[in-house]
């Protein structure tokens, strides 16, 4: 699983919602997007709240993208809940809004989210993610989830690609795409015969082919496009700064994979430490900014991310039961409940979930309406203040007009002394 944030957020609320669900979310006569499912949130409320905001950027959107084609409903619910706790530590569900939409049209599972950038109780801007400040928090979340839920790890040496897609490929002309593919094909062939052994050799080949180097960084190389202004960006293992051809032989790859697996526990421990540290700092910033009594966050993280991959029934929604974290009962593995107890437990959970969902919907609707009313009142107050400022000059204008009229009358009337 990887986490992606989209570089959008300034438009109308209907934009991201229609992209995720299709126009049918608001109009039954319009088609829905194929292979999309609404998992959580109210699309109409999300659109209304986003459209009521006057910030430069009104919403944050992104996706949790999985290699797996699907996950159980219990795993998806647990991951989404943990993601919200990561972005909004200590906050209640009715202090923010989050729309969750599932996509499967690419042959893999995607959990898309849209978040209006407003703290509902105060009306202040709420930014879920700062690219520099929160990068370590998001990375540690990704590593912990992949570990706890036994998901495909994008950092595994077996999963590294010799060529990766770049963001500009969606709008890239066909001719440029063909040029890019031809460059990569030639680089691959030269590596196969031993003519290229490292990144310096790749750059030398590009220069010898008449391509001018435009930019290079840790993970990619860009060359100037002789037929257009936009550079051609090459990204993947072959274009990384530490690339060594000898590291990608079958034997080297097997050894690297074994070492990666061997260090799995150490990496997980490090990710937990980073997560706790970053989350605590984020919670303190939220508490200071919004001056709200945020729920205390447990300093011991493992209980929040513990998950039995062989059973979904041990996962309990933290918000449904009023707990601070996702919890898993260790006793349930020691004493197996009877079928009747399981049925009663399931029924009780469903009743609690239904009740709390109704309560949250009412509270969320109230928060959304309050935010919209607050924005409308602010606009009215702004207009009235301008009107008062204009009206304050009118008495002076009227006094001046009276003086002019009196002076004119005196000039026109005959003098009594005459």
Report the pLDDT value the prediction gives residue 320, as an integer from 0 to 100. Answer: 37
Report the pLDDT value the prediction gives residue 180, as an integer from 0 to 100. Answer: 84
Assigned domain for 228 exists: no
Query: Which residues 6+ apart lie within 8 Å of 384 measured at CB?
Result: none
Backbone φ and ψ of 411, nearest 5°: -70, -35
The CA distances from residue 68 to 150, 159, 349, in Å, are 11, 13, 28
Report the pLDDT value the prediction gives residue 188, as an integer from 0 to 100. Answer: 83
Report the pLDDT value the prediction gives residue 350, as an integer from 0 to 100. Answer: 64
Cβ atoms of 319 and 356 within 8 Å: the answer is yes
The two tokens of residue 312 are 């979904």
Q: Name which of 99, 88, 117, 111 is nearest 11 in CA terms.
A: 117
Assigned domain for 191 exists: no
Assigned domain for 116 exists: yes
The two tokens of residue 109 are 């599972």
- Name the pTM for this structure: 0.60
Report the pLDDT value the prediction gives residue 140, as an integer from 0 to 100. Answer: 94
Domain total in the chain: 1
Structural domain that includes position 311: 2-157+264-368
d(CA 88, CA 118): 12
Report the pLDDT value the prediction gives residue 8, as an integer from 0 to 100. Answer: 87
Assigned domain for 364 exists: yes
Assigned domain for 295 exists: yes
Assigned domain for 88 exists: yes
Catalytic residue among 19, 129, 260, 290: 19
Q: Is 147 a catalytic residue?
A: no
Cβ atoms of 315 and 307 within 8 Å: the answer is yes
d(CA 105, CA 70): 11
Q: pLDDT by residue for the chain (418 residues), tens digit each?
A: 999 999 889 989 999 999 999 988 877 778 888 889 999 999 999 999 999 999 999 999 999 999 899 999 999 999 999 999 999 998 999 999 999 999 998 888 999 999 999 999 989 999 999 888 899 999 999 999 999 998 988 877 666 665 666 655 556 677 778 888 888 888 888 887 888 888 899 999 998 888 889 888 888 899 988 777 788 888 888 888 888 877 766 566 677 667 777 788 888 889 999 999 999 999 998 888 887 555 554 433 433 444 444 444 333 333 333 333 433 332 333 344 556 556 656 666 666 666 566 666 666 666 776 676 777 667 676 666 665 555 555 555 555 556 666 655 666 555 444 4
Cβ atoms of 14 and 29 within 8 Å: the answer is no
| Displacement of CA 220 from its chain's centroid (Å) | 24
3-state percent helix, strand, coil for the chain, nearest multiple of 5: 55, 10, 35
End-to-end CA distance of the chain: 104
Assigned domain for 220 exists: no
Assigned domain for 234 exists: no
Report the pLDDT value the prediction gives residue 179, as an integer from 0 to 100. Answer: 83
What DSSP character marks residue 167?
G
Report the pLDDT value the prediction gives residue 316, as an integer from 0 to 100. Answer: 33
Which ranges constitute the DSSP H helices of 315-338? 318-321, 331-334
The CA distances from residue 169 to 29, 43, 266, in Å, are 34, 30, 37
């Amino acid at each position: 699983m990887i986490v992606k944030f989209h570089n959008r957020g300034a438009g109308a609320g209907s934009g991201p919602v229609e992209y995720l669900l299709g126009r049918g979310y608001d109009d039954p006569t319009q088609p829905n997007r194929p292979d999309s499912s609404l998992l959580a949130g109210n699309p109409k409320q999300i659109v209304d709240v986003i459209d009521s905001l006057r910030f430069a950027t009104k919403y944050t959107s992104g996706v949790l993208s999985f290699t797996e084609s699907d996950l159980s409903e219990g795993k998806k619910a647990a991951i989404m809940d943990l993601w919200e706790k990561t972005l909004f530590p200590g906050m209640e569900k009715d202090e923010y809004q989050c729309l969750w939409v599932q996509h499967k049209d690419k042959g893999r599972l995607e959990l898309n989210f849209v978040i209006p950038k407003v703290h509902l109780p105060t009306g202040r801007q709420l930014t879920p993610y700062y690219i520099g400040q929160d990068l370590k928090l998001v990375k540690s979340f990704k590593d912990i989830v992949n570990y706890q839920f036994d998901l495909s790890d994008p950092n595994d040496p077996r999963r590294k690609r010799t060529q990766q897609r770049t963001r500009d490929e969606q709008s890239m002309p066909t001719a440029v795409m063909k040029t890019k593919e031809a460059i990569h094909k030639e680089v691959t062939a030269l590596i196969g015969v031993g003519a290229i052994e490292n990144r310096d050799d790749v750059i030398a080949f590009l220069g010898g082919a008449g391509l001018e180097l435009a930019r290079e960084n840790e993970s990619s190389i860009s060359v100037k496009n002789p037929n257009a202004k936009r550079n051609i960006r090459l990204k993947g293992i072959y274009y990384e700064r530490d690339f060594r051809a000898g590291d990608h032989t079958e034997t080297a790859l097997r050894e690297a994979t074994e070492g990666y697996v061997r260090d799995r526990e150490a990496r997980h421990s490090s990710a937990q430490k980073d997560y706790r540290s970053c989350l605590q700092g984020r919670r303190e910033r939220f508490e200071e900014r919004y001056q709200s009594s945020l729920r205390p966050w447990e300093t011991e993280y493992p209980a929040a991310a513990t998950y039995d991959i062989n059973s979904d029934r041990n996962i309990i929604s933290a918000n449904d039961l009023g707990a601070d974290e996702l919890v898993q009962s260790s006793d349930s593995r020691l004493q197996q409940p009877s079928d009747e107890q399981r049925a009663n437990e399931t029924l009780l959970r469903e009743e609690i979930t239904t009740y709390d969902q109704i309560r949250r919907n009412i509270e969320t609707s109230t928060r959304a309406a309050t935010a919209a009313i607050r924005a409308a009142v602010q606009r009215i107050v702004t207009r009235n203040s301008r009107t008062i400022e204009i009206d304050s000059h009118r008495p002076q204008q009227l006094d001046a007009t009276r003086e002019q009229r009196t002076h004119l009358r005196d000039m026109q009337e005959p003098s009594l002394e005459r």
